[in-house]
Amino acid sequence: MGRKVTLATCSLNQWSLDFEGNLDRILKSVEIAKTQGAKYRLGPELEICGYGCADHFYESDTLLHSFQVLRMLLESPITQDIICDVGIKILLIRPKMLMANHGNYRELRWFSPWNQLRKVEEYFLPRMIQEVTGQETVPFGDCVLSTKDTCIGTEMCAELWNPRSPHIQLGLDGVEIFTNSSASHHELRKADQRVNLVKSATTKSGGIYLYANQRGCDGDRVYYDGCAMVAINGDIVAQGAQFSLNDVEVITATVDLEDVRSYRGELCHEPKPCHRVKVDFSLSTDDDIYLPAHQPITWLFHTPEEEISLGPACWLWDYLRRSGQAGFLLPLSGGVDSSSTACIVNSMCVLLCQAIEDNNSQVLEDVRRVVGEQSYYPQSPRDLCGHIFTTCYMASENSSSDTCNRAKDLSNQIGSTHININIDIAVKGILGIFSAVTGRWPQFQANGGSQRENLALQNIQARVRMLLAYLFAQLSLWARGKPGGLLVLGSANVDESLTGYFTKYDCSSADINPIGGISKTDLKSFLLYCVEHFQLTALRGILAAPPTAELEPLTDGQVSQTDEADMGMTYSELSVIGRLRKISKCGPFSMFCKLIHMWKDALSPTEVAQKVKHFFRMYSINRHKMTTVTPSYHAESYSPDDNRFDLRPFLYNTRWTWQFRCIDNQVTIKT
């Protein structure tokens, strides 16, 4: 009897409700797995219908079409002679026992967990499946597969992250291979957690772990980042790409079952065994003595700067190629935020050109369709950027020549089609309408106006820029004699969203925003990375300049308004506050209690109290802006996106009387 088995796990770009495309990608992955000698193929969670169907899970059509695809998989000759999670014969249905129901996940909204440990029932298959397999029922429940040479158990996605992970009991019961069909989205610095969990799952009790994950934008704010892997006895032996433009990636590993059995030599077994479904099939062969087993590897983690460069870029490309649009338009101000968005588009073009150079025919086909030229072949990332990316600098009388030049220099280096627009005519026209009705003409505070006038004049500039951005997105290609329209890109970072430091419906409002879940601190580090990695030297001047909205009059031609002065706190302080608010679940008082220790070397308790109260006033006054904020790439676990991730009210008592009184009492006691 052989002892070495070759196993395959996948990262698939499965689109929600794209049953035909998902079927093709599943079959392609099975075909690749068999070509590479695998006898077991693992795919991601809900790979037939796509993980992100949301309330479409309520529809009977979703279940019907999933079974129709399953029937086609069962009938296909490609799925013969290999065990798949959707294979030639239905061996068992293992329901999910522990649901993901936090952050972006809402599984309990559509599904119920199987909470009957070690229990198995008979499930009656639909007639369309019975006609293919000849089966009337299949085992349904907490059970495992027992082949002629090994035992295979399953845990799904969130079950790996749970303190009661099924692999613990399965390992004690003698299960040697664990599989995990996952739909785990990307967050900055998350990959190491995932890898450590998989390694830990087999370090304690031995075993082989197969991890599969979705890849790409499944139709929402999250990006699934692959990272398929195979581990044995606490070591990773095969690693898939974390970010890739390939729709299908299959990694295989040959592992020795005897290594698991030796590792478990003195392990006690579980007295409550799982129900075993016997399978007349072997994963190994009798002549595998010369088949080399995969050796442990060191996982190559991306830095956060690389993750920002790669994840949002892949997400943007998925969105663009599915949208039917011809490219992107970005209001480029010459500041850190809009420059970061531009650099992510540049990174996307670099990835596309590399994929085409690597003979990815699907990417080339998609690029030609987006560009609208069937014979187009990009000569360089800069060439491609010129075809699909338009940037525009929208100057007003309050704009400095420095920001204008910085935007132009960056555009020249990445190759975007750049436009200079002056918005003063539009601003004065709108104010003229107001003046004709009221007989009043508002003034900036610097010119003797009130705070209300000052804010209104800033907002008019910002909102005019949004209108012009959409106008040029719809008609700039038309004006150049080219077909199609452009998607408008946003550039508000996660910290500004926390405090509402942006105008509602301004130029940060857009179709999608690749940096809306990324902190200002991380964006600055990302731009430093781009200076070195992409040789974008124009970014040095952008990084050296103080962040400013440039909405108030200049002083002697120089910027007098800065973001941090307007917000009343630095971006680094805001990043700490954001993490305490969401991740540590702090209200005003508990946040104050933590910060007096964290900031004791820099601020007194009175100053900490002022910062905390100022933040919560700004947060609560502007929380309503999150109901209209541009859909953003989810990258941070302290994101304030209220679509699904951060479910909080948008109408508060902004005085926070009770909470602030508790803070004041503590300050009084301290002083």
User: Under a CB-based contact definition with an 8 Å cutoff, are residues 351 and 310 in contact?
Assistant: yes
Establish whether 157 is a catalytic residue: yes
Q: Is the pLDDT of residue 284 over 70?
A: yes
pLDDT of res. 88: 45
- Nearest to residue 401, comparing CAs of 469, 334, 465? 334
Greatest CA span in the chain, whole angstroms? 95
Establish whether 399 is a catalytic residue: no
Per-residue pLDDT, averaged over 320-331, amounts to 96
pLDDT of res. 557: 63
- Tens digits of per-residue pLDDT, 70-96? 999 999 999 999 888 654 468 888 899
Look up the CATH superfamily of 4-301.
Carbon-nitrogen hydrolase (3.60.110.10)
Q: Work out the angle between the directed axes of helices 361-371 and 336-357 (0-180°, nearest 10).
A: 130
Residue 147 corresponds to which tokens in the numbers above?
A: 């082949």
For residue 145, give the 3-state DSSP assignment. Answer: strand
Task: Round to whole Å and give the CA distance between 605 and 666.
Answer: 9
Establish whether 20 is a catalytic residue: no
Query: Of the listed 16, 66, 284, 333, which one is catalytic?
Result: 333
Give residue 559's pLDDT band: very low, low, confident or very high (50, 70, 90): low
Give residue 556's pLDDT band: very low, low, confident or very high (50, 70, 90): low
**For 97, what's the count of Cα atoms within 13 Å in the CB-facing half-sphere?**
24
Query: Of the listed 84, 143, 151, 157, which one is catalytic?
Result: 157
Query: Of the listed 4, 11, 45, 496, which one is catalytic?
Result: 45
Domain 305-567 carries which CATH code?
3.40.50.620
Chain mean pLDDT for the chain: 92
Counting DSSP H helices and E strands in the chain, the numbers are: 22, 18
Q: Work out the angle between the directed axes of helices 571-582 and 605-622 (0-180°, nearest 10).
A: 70
Q: Is the pLDDT of residue 429 over 50?
A: yes
- Tens digits of per-residue pLDDT, 363-408? 999 999 999 999 999 999 999 999 999 999 999 998 888 999 999 9
Q: Helices in 84-126 by DSSP H: which ranges?
A: 107-110
Q: Which residue has the tokens 């200049």?
A: 554
Task: Round to whole Å and give the CA distance between 450 and 442.
Answer: 8
pTM greater than 0.85: yes
Give residue 507's pLDDT band: very low, low, confident or very high (50, 70, 90): confident
Query: Of the listed 4, 96, 582, 611, which one is catalytic?
Result: 96
The residues of the chain that CATH labels 3.60.110.10 are: 4-301
User: Under a CB-based contact definition with an 8 Å cutoff, are residues 663 and 588 in contact?
Assistant: yes
The residues of the chain that CATH labels 3.40.50.620 are: 305-567
Helix H, strand E, coil C: the string for 494-523 is HHHHHHCCCCCCCCCCCCEECCCCCCHHHH
Residue 605 corresponds to which tokens in the numbers above?
A: 């308790």
Establish whether 45 is a catalytic residue: yes
